[in-house]
Structure 1
Amino acid sequence: MDPLTAVSLAANIVQFVEFSCKLVTSSGDFLQSTTGRLPEHDEVNLIAESLKSLHEKTVCLSTVSLDLGRLNKHEKRLLPLREACLKVADELIDILEGLRVSGSQKRWKSVRAALLSTLKEKRVRELESRLLKLQAQIDSRVIEDIRKQQSEILQLLRKQTRLGGTSLQVTRNLSSLVDTVQSTFDGLRSRLDLVDVADRVNQAHTKALEQSILISLDYDLRISRRQAIKPAYPDTFRWIFEDQNASGEPITFVKWLQNKSGVYWITGKPGSGKSTLMKCIWSQYDTQQGLKKWSQGETVITAWFFFWNSGTAMQKSLEGLLRSMLIQILDQCPELIPEAFSLRWEALLATRSYATTQPLWSLQELLDSFRTITKQASMKAKFCFFIDGLDEYEGTDKELVEIIDSFNSSENLKFCLSSRPHASFRKAYGDDPRTVLHVPKLTDGDIRLYVRISLDENTAFQDMKKRYPDRCKQLVEGIVNDANGVFLWVHLVVSRLLDGIEINKDRMGDLERKFRCIPKELDDLFCHIMESVDHDYHELQANMFRVACDAEEPLDLMAYYFMDSEDTDSALKMPVEPLAFDVVREKQETMAVRVSVRSKGLLEVFEDPMSHHFRSLKVQLLHRTFRDFILDKHMQDFIRRRSAPNLNPLRSICLALLAELKTYLFHHHDPVRTCHQLRLLDSLLHYALEMELTEGASPNDVLAEARSILPELPRLPRGDHRHLYEEWLLFKDLVGDSESKSTSSDPFVEFATCRGLAHFPLSCMEQSKPTGARLDEILWASVQRRKISDHEPVLNPDVVKMLLDMGADPGPGWNSFLSSDWWALGGADVEKALFYVTKLFLEYNVHVSDPSMIRAKIVGFSRGDIEEIDWLIQTHSSRPKAAFQRLPFKWKRWASNLTRW
């Protein structure tokens, strides 16, 4: 019984005893209605129902986690009280049921008189005596016992508070409630105080359950894209809240904001500033004021999402969009959580636990929950959603349009969207000029302001302006005219000119010649900038571009620092030696200069405030437009030829992550951020898997070094100070029950297997020879789709074959595979993996209890794959089996082991 349940049970016992004592001892009227006395039979009915309710609550709370072996002495003292209450309740309910029948024909001065009318006075006094004894026990024991559990209760609630981070409103509310719980505990003196304590604890418990749902929706780097977008330059984009801009171009955004529902589409060519404008809209007070007029006094719920093609899988997927929107909506309206996630909520209530590791979110569940919430529009609130970068979504434009249209079904719900002018978006959103805004048509004034102020802030240019005012003005106007509304082009051009002034001490004529030579198209400008780098840095520049292209998310600046080492394998040789903050900062500053000099701004360093200081500075490709340019096949061939001959970007990333792991320093006072160590390990395994899948080879030496250093890493700030190596044992749902592990169990190797790696685990398991039971558990976990970070899980048929070849029993793994979330996913890669894994299990003669279920699952496979699986199913029972195959599986495994070892 957890301490929260114990408090609730104790409070319920108090309420029951107090109610029953009043019932038995009261000489006057027990209950009155608001308008006068209740008729006697109504009073008896009400008392009987109240007593039944208290009885049911006591029974319900008594059955929650009632494992006698795990109860402490304080909780065990509640059990006799509970039993005594239940006995008294049964007796009183029976008596009151009898009074219900006769109550309409008799009148009593009190309920006690009614009891005396059917029972002897001795029986009534005996009930009274038992209840008074229960009161005495509560006074003498229960209150003190609950006070002794105060620290455990507060510790449990405060631990949950720390998990949420400060960005969630529900966490701040929970923190406030926990403070209230503590002050209520401090005032615990009487039985009635205990009821108040339980009420406060239950409020905090409910808030903690809400928070646990939101935490499970959250993911790494959820808000980093919005933070990475540079804020609008001072005094730019202010026209969005006007009826027209300085040139007289009409602007309809405010009218839509204040009066209309539906979709408002912001569009423009690449690099025109759409994301900057969307960030400006989202963060401005004017937006909230406009929505307030639209809502006409109703609550307005807002949420945003910025798709990012250069980011993690979650940052460019529908799952990422839905989880981000849901967490924002429900943080503002937590009362919608039980309705949006009814099954999860009921499961949490049933266990009275916070279940920080909840079942994986399926896309269908997220879609259903979002639809449930949007249906609340007009009933409970109005909703306005801001979604940037529709063209950066990983799926098709048409698919995203259809999804948004399926939600946009209420006059009390609206979407502000931005994208490039792709055909699907023009068709869906471009017909009504009142709800479309073309950014490049409106930014000439902003570009002129940006260019003028950026140049004017340079003292050398100020001197030129005094000497050559007309030439300086022509230079500014030339930039504005050639920009064609593309802010990115302007930013790069101005940066080039300022570099010339500050570094090369360019004269006015030099600036004019340089500007005339600058290409007017972005792709040509990118080539121009790359070629302008000193020849000595061409190889280093290409190395960084190749790494940035292969990385699935912006890597830490420290990772680039370690990759920049002259000894490419230095990470394998360095000791485990955490770096102090000032040393890290010095190395970051050094590498930031190198990135700037070698890339000339095409790679940019930005800060992620949600990360630990060691990982707060990250490196990304300048813009989606540059990413599209550098990923072009011709450019990939070009930078591959220019880069170091032996460069393997994926291996370089793995080595850099290993170096980060060895030098990472966490703060003991900040336990939430220590999970960055585990994330580093998970990222290392992920990129090792990418290397294995794309190149057919795994960085075994890097993984072996990571495996060997885990016991040496600094201890985590937990109460028992377990080593990080032992943290792998916490993944019991991934690698089986830790109690069944043999002493030779290797959590790192097992976890690597579950993450989809085959080459490295095979080499390790051939030496360690895991037991058959461990192989069964690893196979069971390897075919589950378990997601513990932003990196997508991988179903690798090579892992399944490896484990089956080593003697794993296919039965448990087959059942796990059939019930996994893999079958709910789409995509050609997943479908092919499902086919090969299904084929493997059938070829290993797994027992097929329901062929029709298998056929139903593979209905989406290609015709050839369906026919092959169907043939394996049909011939499964009729295929002749060798004597070896007919042996019981444990004997087959034993015989197999003889041949292996």
Structure 2
Amino acid sequence: MEWVAAIGLASGILTFVTFSHEVFKVAREVRERGSVANHAQLKMLTEQMRKTGVELSQLGPANNTSGGPHTAVSEHVTSLVAIAEDCQRYCDELETLLMELVVPSGPRGSRTQRAATIGKVAIKTLFKKGKIEDLESNIDKSRSAAMLPLQLLLRDGQLSIQVELSGLRFDSQSTYNALSAELSTLSSSIAQQGTQLNSVMAAGDTVQQMLGCHLAALDDIQSSLGLLLDSRAAPPPEIRILKQLFFSSMFSREDQVRDSHEGTFDWILGNPGGNDEDSDGKLAQSGRLLAWLSREHGIFHISGKAGAGKSTLMKTLVKHPRTMVELRKWSEGKRLVFARFFFWRTGGQMERSLAGLYRSLLFETLRECPELIQIVFPDAYSTFSAKSPGHCIEELFFSPERVAKALQNLVVLRPPEAYRFCFFIDGLDEYGEDADDDGGEDIAYDELASQLETWASNTGVKILVSSRPEFDHRFSESSRMRLHELTQGDIFKFTRGLLMKHRNFHHIQNYCKHICRHVVDRADGVFLWADIAARSLYASLTMHESVSTMIRKLDDLPRTMVQLYEKLLGRLSDSDWLRCCKVLLYAARHELTNEDFSALSVAWLDDWDHPGFPASLSETPRPYSRREVQDMLATAEARLQHLTQGLLEIGKGGRSCGAGNCSSIQRYHVQFFHRSVRDFVRKNPRMQEVSRRFPSLVNGEIFYRLRLAELWFAPTEHLVRRRKDQLTEERSHNTTPKGRELNDSIANQHMMVIGPGGSWSLAR
């Protein structure tokens, strides 16, 4: 019998004994008082006793899969099994006895009849007093008898653990002995080299010969020590290669995309879920997508207007379990490799470039199939297998050209026969930089589409892509879905779901269908427009506005997104319009820095133009308390909602928190509600006029002042130490005059913040 199983059996015996005492206690109360409550409790205990007996029998020898008591290696284990068998017998007897003492639960009679029944049971209990006491005595003896075997079992368990520890010590000793043997060999080699040196000296060889022999000996020693240390410390080459491919914002865009609203996009994988007027079109398009997933290769294109919900749909497909079910049909028993990438032009360099696409697809592919690593990166794999991280420059093996070639080899030139590759790529129109000329963006889009077509020419590769209509002429019409033509029902469900959450929904309940239908008609398939309209309706409910007023407000909303943004911001006063322009322009400019726009910066908005900011808020640097940070975040959120009408919002995490070492000031950042808002800000003539009036918004001055303010008030326990040479290097990268001027002013102040483990100095 296994030691752990024996302990379980002993535990079952003690549980049974403890439980039986409760039974005897209630039985005595029945005998002495005969109350209905006691009988109800006794009935419950009878049911529990039956379950206890079943559990005890399952722990007994009949169910012992390790050989039973007759194969036990110790006498005390056999004794414990015998006690368990006695307890099983006592349990059966006690259950039979309890059944006789329980008042039957038949039809309810008069109180007199009920009392008579209870009286009979009490008399029966009195006559069975001797049997109950004998049974209780026997069970007590079983408990006493079980204690000694249990103690012996625990002793055996301790001995077993000691044996295992001894084995571990033996293994450790073996490892130590092996290491000692290697060191002994190395020592012998050193001694041998010393003997050779003595021989050379005794033979009267020249100094040059002696020096050459000495250097050769040192080389041998160095090689031996290097091999010895490398074998102990270096991570496997697979991990080192994956680390080189990974970048911190790899999944930032996907995480930022909102999940689909409940009930929306269910139709995409064959579940129409209603009788919408577009249900036939949904069913047809869903069938095309399912057929492509399960049988075809090549490219399938999801096209949609700006704000139609393409990214949300792609995220839904990535997470939906049926996606993988259909793809496995296509793989036909071969190894299915799935990877995805979400382009994001407002993100960092990696999130909007081919380099980020290549690294992301390779990372997910090789993480899932590490056996392909030495095929895709043969040079890096062989070098990393032979050398530790400190003996080679790992980054040289992952230049943009090598990474691109690796992915090309994987899916086009030398694709492994036993694999099928499926890639989901969202937001092709988010690829690249904002082009000032008319032709630059078209060229970039053509190159991207050509690259994807080349990959998908292999029958073992398929790619699902999404984009705005700019890519419609670049992919085949036969494998395209126009999303904005299919979202009427989803927009209806979304709008109705939001309004139903309002506490005043009952005022418009009878008109809800009409209101939602009106939103659908005016949205023209653009989820983003519907989102803004639905939030406007939600605000109308808060103000108890009539249905006719709500409909009139919907009619007043412009149909295009640009006009809608102008309408929303046109409600502001002149002073608030100026403050709104400042924060929107700074958000648009800030994206070029690849840094997060701290939410607390909005709380400082009215101090941005002060020549002494941030020292104007506090003459000396001081860390904000947690309460101060929370209050300022609340201020920033309310200010953003009022000034930008929801076009800017606060997100959590971000680039500054990629390594998990951001402060509470950096943890929350400002982001655009949608990319179309950023495009609107950059092209709006009135806002560009404001940027000319306040050049500090675009020349870097405000950026540096706000970065300094974050350090000025950052909690010291979250500051990251940096060496002075790193700070000097950062300063050399500041190319704007204002940046250099601010750096010089910081250097003159010699600001220093003391944190755990050292000091953080702003002096360059």
TM-score by length of structure 1 reads 0.53
Counterpart position of 1:128? none
Deviation at 1:358, TM superposition (A): 4.0
- Of 653, 658, 661, 1:608 maps to 653
Aligned counterparts of 1:683 and 1:302: Cα–Cα separation in 2: 41
1:443 and 2:487 correspond: yes
Q: Deviation per CA, 1:58-80, whole angstroms, max 9, x where unpaired? A: 8xxxxxxxxxxxxxxxx6x6621
Counterpart position of 2:370? 334
Counterpart position of 2:58? none
1:235 and 2:263 correspond: yes
Counterpart position of 2:706? 656
Aligned counterparts of 2:732 and 2:346: Cα–Cα separation in 1: 17
Counterpart position of 2:459? 411
1:627 and 2:672 correspond: no
Which structure 2 residues correspond to residues 510-521 of structure 1 after superposition, within 5 A?
510-521=549-560
Q: Deviation per CA, 1:770-813, whole angstroms, max 9, x where unpaired? A: xxxxxxxxxxxxxxxxxxxxxxxxxxxxxxxxxxxxxxxxxxxx
Q: Deviation per CA, 1:24-81, whole angstroms, max 9, x where unpaired? A: xxxxxxxxxxxxxxxxxxxxxxxxxxxxxxxxxx8xxxxxxxxxxxxxxxx6x66214
Looking at both structures, which has the greater relative contact order when contacts are Cα pairs under 8 Å and sequence separation is at least 6?
2
Aligned counterparts of 1:255 and 1:571: Cα–Cα separation in 2: 60
Q: Secondary structure at the match of 2:425?
A: strand
8 Å CA contact 1:262–1:408 kept in 2: the answer is yes
Counterpart position of 1:80? 187
Deviation at 1:287, TM superposition (A): 1.7
CA spacing shift, 1:564–1:526, aligned 2, 3 Å:
same
CA spacing shift, 1:556–1:683, aligned 2, 3 Å:
farther
- Of 371, 375, 386, 2:424 maps to 386
CA spacing shift, 1:649–1:722, aligned 2, 3 Å:
same
CA spacing shift, 1:244–1:81, aligned 2, 3 Å:
farther
Counterpart position of 2:607? 565
8 Å CA contact 2:720–2:760 kept in 1: the answer is no
8 Å CA contact 1:451–1:494 kept in 2: the answer is yes
Q: Secondary structure at the match of 1:551?
A: helix
Counterpart position of 2:566? 527
Deviation at 1:665, TM superposition (A): 3.3
1:495 and 2:535 correspond: yes
1:276 and 2:312 correspond: yes
8 Å CA contact 2:258–2:312 kept in 1: the answer is yes
Which structure 2 residues correspond to residues 104-503 of structure 1 after superposition, within 5 A?
205-207=234-236, 209-242=237-270, 246=274, 247-249=279-281, 250=284, 251=286, 252-353=288-389, 358-359=394-395, 361-374=398-411, 377-394=415-432, 396-422=444-470, 425-432=471-478, 435-465=479-509, 469-470=510-511, 472-502=512-542
Question: Partner letter of residue 280 of structure 2?
Answer: G
8 Å CA contact 1:602–1:621 kept in 2: the answer is yes
Counterpart position of 2:633? 588
Aligned counterparts of 2:729 and 2:554: Cα–Cα separation in 1: 43
Deviation at 1:241, TM superposition (A): 0.7
Aligned counterparts of 1:444 and 1:722: Cα–Cα separation in 2: 59
Question: Partner letter of residue 211 of structure 1?
Answer: I
Question: Partner letter of residue 383 of structure 1?
Answer: F
Aligned counterparts of 2:312 and 2:295: Cα–Cα separation in 1: 24
8 Å CA contact 2:366–2:372 kept in 1: the answer is yes
Deviation at 1:354, TM superposition (A): 6.0
8 Å CA contact 2:696–2:702 kept in 1: the answer is no
Q: Secondary structure at the match of 1:606?
A: strand
Aligned counterparts of 1:374 and 1:448: Cα–Cα separation in 2: 42
Counterpart position of 2:37? none
Deviation at 1:531, TM superposition (A): 0.5
Counterpart position of 1:867? none
How many residues align? The count is 531
Q: Deviation per CA, 1:684-707, whole angstroms, max 9, x where unpaired? A: 869943xx2xxxx33334213444
Aligned counterparts of 2:386 and 2:516: Cα–Cα separation in 1: 68
Q: Deviation per CA, 1:432-476, whole angstroms, max 9, x where unpaired? A: 1xx3211112211110000111112112233233xxx24x43221
8 Å CA contact 1:607–1:616 kept in 2: the answer is yes
TM-score by length of structure 2 reads 0.62
Deviation at 1:570, TM superposition (A): 1.9
Deviation at 1:84, TM superposition (A): 8.0
8 Å CA contact 1:228–1:608 kept in 2: the answer is no
Aligned counterparts of 2:392 and 2:327: Cα–Cα separation in 1: 35
Aligned counterparts of 1:521 and 1:370: Cα–Cα separation in 2: 40
Aligned counterparts of 2:376 and 2:701: Cα–Cα separation in 1: 43
Q: Secondary structure at the match of 1:570?
A: coil
349-358 or 272-281, which deviates more: 349-358
Q: Secondary structure at the match of 1:308?
A: coil
Q: Deviation per CA, 1:294-314, whole angstroms, max 9, x where unpaired? A: 223333222211111222222
Aligned counterparts of 1:408 and 1:683: Cα–Cα separation in 2: 44
CA spacing shift, 1:350–1:675, aligned 2, 3 Å:
farther
Aligned counterparts of 1:85 and 1:481: Cα–Cα separation in 2: 92
Deviation at 1:529, TM superposition (A): 0.6
CA spacing shift, 1:657–1:403, aligned 2, 3 Å:
same
Specify the structure having the higher radius of gyration (Cα): 2
Counterpart position of 1:556? 598
Deviation at 1:267, TM superposition (A): 0.6
Question: Partner letter of residue 571 of structure 1?
Answer: P
Q: Secondary structure at the match of 1:359?
A: helix
CA spacing shift, 1:576–1:213, aligned 2, 3 Å:
farther
Deviation at 1:533, TM superposition (A): 2.6
Q: Deviation per CA, 1:354-404, whole angstroms, max 9, x where unpaired? A: 689743643211111112332564435322111111111115210101121
CA spacing shift, 1:298–1:569, aligned 2, 3 Å:
farther
1:702 and 2:729 correspond: no
Deviation at 1:681, TM superposition (A): 7.2
Counterpart position of 2:80? none
Aligned counterparts of 1:409 and 1:384: Cα–Cα separation in 2: 13
Deviation at 1:583, TM superposition (A): 3.0
CA spacing shift, 1:415–1:228, aligned 2, 3 Å:
same
The runs of 5 or more residues in structure 2 that have no matched partner are: 1-170, 195-224, 433-440
- Of 567, 580, 583, 1:541 maps to 580
Deviation at 1:651, TM superposition (A): 1.1
8 Å CA contact 1:654–1:687 kept in 2: the answer is no
Deviation at 1:538, TM superposition (A): 0.8
CA spacing shift, 1:625–1:597, aligned 2, 3 Å:
same
Q: Deviation per CA, 1:645-682, whole angstroms, max 9, x where unpaired? A: 875562111111111123333657xxxx948999x979
Aligned counterparts of 1:577 and 1:214: Cα–Cα separation in 2: 41
Deviation at 1:276, TM superposition (A): 0.8
8 Å CA contact 1:651–1:688 kept in 2: the answer is no
1:617 and 2:668 correspond: yes
319-328 or 413-422, which deviates more: 319-328
8 Å CA contact 2:446–2:474 kept in 1: the answer is no
8 Å CA contact 1:556–1:617 kept in 2: the answer is yes
Aligned counterparts of 1:217 and 1:615: Cα–Cα separation in 2: 26
Q: Secondary structure at the match of 1:615?
A: coil
8 Å CA contact 1:298–1:381 kept in 2: the answer is yes
8 Å CA contact 2:716–2:753 kept in 1: the answer is no
8 Å CA contact 1:390–1:417 kept in 2: the answer is yes
Aligned counterparts of 2:314 and 2:349: Cα–Cα separation in 1: 22
